[in-house]
């Protein structure tokens, strides 16, 4: 039975596509695009989560002050308060990434596309060629997960870390390292 599959123009892009199908990445809520402090404060005070973000940003003002601010967008608010409002707004607008689940880290990967080690370059998973099979459970996923949780896992970094921390941990460094120099990849998780 086929498992979830990621596709992309590089190994890293295919891995990223596969991961985003499995878990929610760190992202910004599209509804939080306000630039002015007044619009940000109005949006924050409209939700319980917004009030919590204001508290976490240490914005400590009276209800009367808050009402004055909200009733007049031209009210003269100190820069330090505007900075706290902006910090709270940025914090509430970011949805944290879900951790990479164990079934992804412990999964069996089948990689299709051009694979090169040393002078040996083959198209894996095409015609009669078997895909490159990797046991993810033998890998060290710490760096990948750290970048993922911070929202900084690019396709290139994913590919580099997957090669060094997962492929090489499972089957070794190859003749002269691993290179995925094709233009189309699919990665199936089993």
Q: Please state, in angstroms and rounded to a whole number, the distance separating the CA atoms of residues 158 and 132.
A: 17
In order, the DSSP letters of 102-155 are HHHHT-EEEEEEEEEETTEEEEETSTTPPPEEEEGGGS--HHHHHHHHHT---H
Instruction: Note whether 28 and 95 are within 8 A (CB).
Output: yes
Residue 60: the pLDDT is 82
Quickly count: other Cβ atoms within 10 Å of residue 80's Cβ. Answer: 9
pLDDT of 127 reads 81
Chain centroid to Cα 118, Å, comes to 32
Cα angle 14, 20, 22; round to 5: 110
The predicted structure's pLDDT at residue 28: 83
Element (H, E) at 189: strand 185-189
In percent, the amount of the chain with pLDDT more than 70 equals: 99
Which of the residues in the chain have pLDDT under 50?
none
């Amino acid at each position: 039975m086929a498992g979830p599959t990621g596709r992309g123009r590089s190994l890293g892009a295919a891995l990223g596509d596969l991961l985003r199908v499995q878990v929610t990445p760190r992202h910004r809520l599209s509804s939080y695009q306000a630039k002015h402090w007044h619009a940000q404060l109005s949006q924050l005070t409209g939700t319980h989560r917004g009030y919590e973000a204001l508290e976490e940003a240490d914005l400590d003002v009276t209800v009367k002050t808050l009402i004055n601010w909200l009733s007049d967008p031209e009210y003269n608010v100190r820069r330090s308060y505007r900075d706290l409002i902006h910090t709270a707004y940025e914090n509430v607008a970011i949805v944290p990434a879900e951790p990479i689940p164990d079934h992804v880290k412990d999964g069996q990967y089948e990689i299709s596309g051009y694979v090169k080690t040393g002078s040996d370059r083959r198209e894996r998973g095409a015609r009669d060629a078997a895909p490159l099979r990797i046991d993810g459970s033998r890998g060290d996923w710490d760096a990948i997960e750290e970048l993922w949780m911070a929202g900084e896992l690019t396709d290139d970094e994913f590919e580099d870390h997957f090669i060094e921390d997962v492929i090489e941990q499972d089957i070794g460094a190859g003749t002269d390292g691993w290179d995925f120099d094709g233009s189309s990849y699919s990665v199936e998780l089993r």
